[in-house]
Amino acid sequence: MKKGFLLAGLVCFSASVFSQAPAAKKLPYSAANKTVKMYVTEKGSNKRLAPAGELKFSSNPQPPETETLVFVDPEKKFQTMLGIGGALTDAVAETFYKLPKDKQSELLEAYYNKTTGIGFTLARTNIQSCDFSSGSYSYVSKSDKALSTFDISHDKKYRIPFIKAATAAAGGKLTMYVSPWSPPAFMKDNNDVLHGGKLKPEFAQSWANFYVKFIKAYEAQGIPIWGLSVQNEPMATQTWESCKYTAEEERDFVKNYLGPTLWKQGMKAKKLIVWDHNRDLLYQRASTILEDPAAAKYVWGIGFHWYETWTGAGQNFENTRLTHAAFPDKNLIFTEGCVEKFDFTRLDDWNLGERYGLSMINDFNAGTVGWTDWNILLDEKGGPNHVGNFCFAPVHADTRSGQLLYTNSYYYIGHFSKYIQPGAKRIAAAASRDKLLTTAYQNPNGSIAVVVMNRTDEKIEYSLWIKGKAAKTVSEPHSIATLVVQ
């Protein structure tokens, strides 16, 4: 045999042997030798995202039924975290620039610094005016179907500089998506940007082109746009900017105009979000749009709000779970929520934060990949808002004194956004008693963040249990805690 053939044979044999070597077996997760750092926010104390010591695991292979436990299983993984953040509206930006410089810096650090703040990574902003603008405005002149007068100069005064400042404070990157409240008045059958109305069919293509114009204009300003929703609250006739679509109308606009236009303009990678309204009609809207393959191919996910409570009912998490189960290949994203009917005397109301904690835990456990608060900052009146729809924000600026007022909503949101990173995987988590609410994520660095919330008046002793190891601790009445295992 020639030497060359012999060497070739040996190389082939060696490659064959190595290619058949078994892959290294992944060891199951073990909490042995892990420590738990605990951070708490508690009613009736000054503890706000406060360190609460370290917990140690001990062996507890079979806990008795008499114990209260929070079970966590890192081997069972679900959706990936996109991010947590809030809306950067005209009202936010205008209020921000009424603050003294030191308070502006404080706000940016509080929201966007990953170490000293709560590390927001997700943002939403409005296309044209919304209720949280000082007045109605448009980017085009009246009757300009060709959009030749398109100009975002209005936004360059406050909103664009603020978004840039927030992005810089976040380390140079924010996942930003955009939403319209209304097309220009001439494109609507009521000739009004307010009070509902519908998009006239003859302006469907022009309106689709409008989204592209906006995205290109913002990106020319150095603000990358990750995604967009079709319409804010498409089933509501509001006193402010609004536009109505039935499920079939939204489906057909996506299928015939907006989706194809985005793709033709090189924006196939932009994430298109449908619905962007309350949980009550979430499944009906999702099924109508997503059961049409010609529309569904353009859709990244379904956005939802929490205002189904306007009827006096609670938050309808079951619809969110059902929608995720029925359409697991599409993403769920919480696109807006705030506590309405602002009252300055309620800034210390503990219910504000508990509403956030309840929603966030249940939304994440239902499969939601991202969670976006409404305005991150408003003034001492709950505005500015040009139709008097004043609301709460996690932080308010008292423009009379130049001070920032932090509600407990800010800290409740922070228990998630500060410790659960983009790219984290939700893992199995369940409490043995319904008095405790919980969700858990494993971060890209391997650390585990477990959020435990207690809405009761009781002090509850419990153990964090992971694969036969348990760490004992206490949940104070009306508290939220994040337990970081590493």
Task: Give the contacts of 199 (CB within 8 A, at least 6 positions apart).
Answer: 183, 187, 188, 189, 207, 243, 245, 253
- Does 250 qualify as catalytic in the annotation? no
Q: What is the DSSP string of 296-308?
A: HTT--EEEEESGG
What single string gives the DSSP state of each residue in 421-448? Answer: -TTPEEEEEEESSTTEEEEEEE-TTS-E
What distance in Å separates the CA atoms of residue 419 and residue 41, rounded to the nearest whole number?
14
Beta strands 227-229 and 175-180, pairing class? parallel
Catalytic residue status for 336 = yes
DSSP 3-state assignment of 17?
helix
**Sheet harboring 58-59: ordered strands across?**
50-56, 35-42, 479-485, 448-454, 436-442, 425-431, 69-80, 460-466, 469-475, 58-59
Q: What is the DSSP letter of 153?
A: G
| H-type alpha helices, 327-395 | 351-365
**Which two tokens mark 415?**
């228990």
Catalytic residue among 250, 308, 336, 354: 336
Rounded (5°) CA angle 108-112-118: 115
Distance CA 429, CA 438 (A): 7
Query: Could you tell me the two tokens for 109?
Result: 């650090």
Return the DSSP state at 391: B
Q: Quick check: helix, strand or coil at residue 15?
A: helix
Amino acid letter, 408? N
What's the chain's Rg over C-alpha atoms? 25
CA neighbor of 450 nearest in space, from 470, 434, 464, 468: 464
Alpha-carbon gap, residue 90 to 135, rounded angstroms:
10
Strands (DSSP E) contained in 193-311 are 227-229, 271-278, 301-305
Residue 164 CA to residue 218 CA, distance in Å, equals: 11
| C-alpha to C-alpha distance for 316 and 78, rounded to whole angstroms | 21
**Residues recognised as catalytic:** 233, 336
